[in-house]
Amino acid sequence: ATHAKAIPLVHVSTDYVFDGSSSGAYTPDAPIGPTSVYGASKAAGEMAVRTANPRHAIVRTAWVVSPHRGNFVKTMLRLAGERETLAVVDDQRGCPTSAADLAAGLAQIALRLAEDPEAPTGTFHYVNAGVTTWHGFARAIVAGNARRGGREIPVSGIPTSAYPTPARRPANSELSTQSLTAAYGFMPRPWSEALDDILDRLVGPAHRQT
Ligand SMILES: NC(=O)c1ccc[n+]([C@@H]2O[C@H](COP(=O)([O-])OP(=O)(O)OC[C@H]3O[C@@H](n4cnc5c(N)ncnc54)[C@H](OP(=O)(O)O)[C@@H]3O)[C@@H](O)[C@H]2O)c1
């Protein structure tokens, strides 16, 4: 329908289209290999978009967090208030991403596609800069919370096998944003900065370091 009406299409996809066995960052043209029903259905969604409308931007993202609704940051903050220790998976790596940063990026892409017939199309990755594990991310959340007066509790690392989830997550889902930078000039900021903004909203400003 969008193609018939000459409307460009922006579609959000996921790191779960990859099998996670790569050791480095995935570029958008890396072979996909979903290992879950979720990943397979998102890969099918990407194909449907490519077939239906050549003027598309498929934007894969990952590990999305925000001050709103349920997400990893909010879960860790809640657990930091409830528990004496936390154990978090340390053998899955990826790029935490602020929903607000992603939304701003998607809006800019949509605007460019709407206004400029030459705007780049294809598949891109948008994640915040830097790579960590869920354990590293949890530690940053707990430390950021403590800088704002919250409880500092120990966060230990555990293997994925000790924390089964319904959909298997890729072991490595580092996504390269290089082609998005080349096409649209975006330079996503580090995830740690984005996390500070979210904690400022959820917990309050950090106490001054003495
Ligand atoms: N969360 C992540 O880390 C992540 C990572 C990579 C990609 N993504 C992609 O980002 C997109 C959103 O994911 P999310 O995690 O934000 O999911 P979510 O929290 O489940 O939110 C989905 C939203 O879509 C709405 N929705 C669901 N089915 C709908 C329907 N049939 N018609 C209209 N609205 C519908 C829901 O509305 P209600 O609230 O009314 O149910 C909800 O607001 C998905 O395409 C996902 O694959 C997410």
Which class for 1: exposed (0-12), middle (13-18), buried (19 or more C-beta within 10 A)? exposed
Q: What's the gap in Å between 12 CA and the centre of ligand 1? A: 10
**If you measure from the C-alpha of residue 98 to the centroid of ligand 1, how many angstroms do you get, rounded to a whole number?**
15
Q: Is 137 part of any domain?
A: yes
Instruction: Give the pLDDT band (50/70/90) at residue 10.
Output: very high
**Atom 7, ligand 1: which residue's CA is nearest?**
14
62 and 14 Cβ atoms separated by less than 8 Å: yes
DSSP string, 67-86: SSSS-HHHHHHHHHHH-S-E
The residues that bridge with 88 in the sheet, in sequence order, are 157
Could you give the 3-state DSSP secondary structure of residue 195? Answer: helix
Entry pTM: 0.95
Cβ of residue 191 lying under 6 Å from some atom of ligand 1:
no
- Contact by Cβ (8 Å): 112, 121: no
What pLDDT is attached to residue 2?
A: 85
Distance from Cα 57 to the centre of ligand 1, integer Å: 18
Report which ligand 1 atom has the smallest distance to the Cα of 64.
Answer: 3
The CA 151 to ligand 1 mean position distance, Å, reads 31
163 counts as catalytic: no
Query: In this predicted structure, what is the pLDDT of residue 147?
Result: 97
Q: What is the rounded distance in angstroms from the CA atom of residue 141 to the CA atom of residue 80?
A: 9
For the residues of 114-161, what is the DSSP string, one character each? HH-TTS--EEEE---B--EEHHHHHHHHHHHHHHTT-----EEEE-GG
Quote the pLDDT of residue 210.
58
Residue 1 lies in a domain: no
Confidence of residue 134 (pLDDT cuts 50, 70, 90): very high
Residues spanned by the domain of 132: 9-198
The reply to whether 104 falls in a domain is yes
Average pLDDT estimate for 109-136: 97
Pocket test for ligand 1, best of 17, 61, 123, 198 (most atoms within 8 A of CB): 61
- Check whether 37 has a pLDDT greater than 70: yes
Residue 209 is predicted with a pLDDT of 66
The per-residue pLDDT for 113 is 97
For residues 10-32, give the mean pLDDT.
97
Domain membership flag for residue 203: no
CATH of the domain at 119: 3.40.50.720
Token readout for 142 is 């707990």
Instruction: Provide mean pLDDT across the span 167-188.
Output: 95
Is 145 a residue whose pLDDT tops 70? yes
pLDDT digits (tens, 9 = 90+) for 178-210: 999 999 999 999 999 999 999 999 999 998 765
The answer to whether residue 96 is domain-embedded is yes
Q: How confident is the model at residue 6 (pLDDT cuts 50, 70, 90)?
A: confident
Q: Is residue 149 part of a domain?
A: yes
Q: Indicate the number of domains in the chain.
A: 1
Residues of the chain with pLDDT > 90: what percent?
91
Q: Establish whether residue 42 lines the binding site of ligand 1, counting it when its CB lies within 6 angstroms of any ligand atom.
A: yes
Instruction: For residue 13, give the ligand 1 atom closest to its CA.
Output: 7
Cα 150 to ligand 1 centroid, rounded to whole Å: 30
CA 36 to chain centre: 18
Closest CA to 173 of 56, 8, 81, 61: 61
Q: What is the pLDDT of residue 137?
A: 98
- Exactly one of 26, 38, 163, 184 is catalytic; which is it? 38
Examine residue 205 and state whether it is found in any structural domain, yes or no: no
Question: Mean pLDDT throughout 17-34?
Answer: 97
Residue 207 lies in a domain: no
Q: Is the CB of 11 under 6 A from ligand 1?
A: no
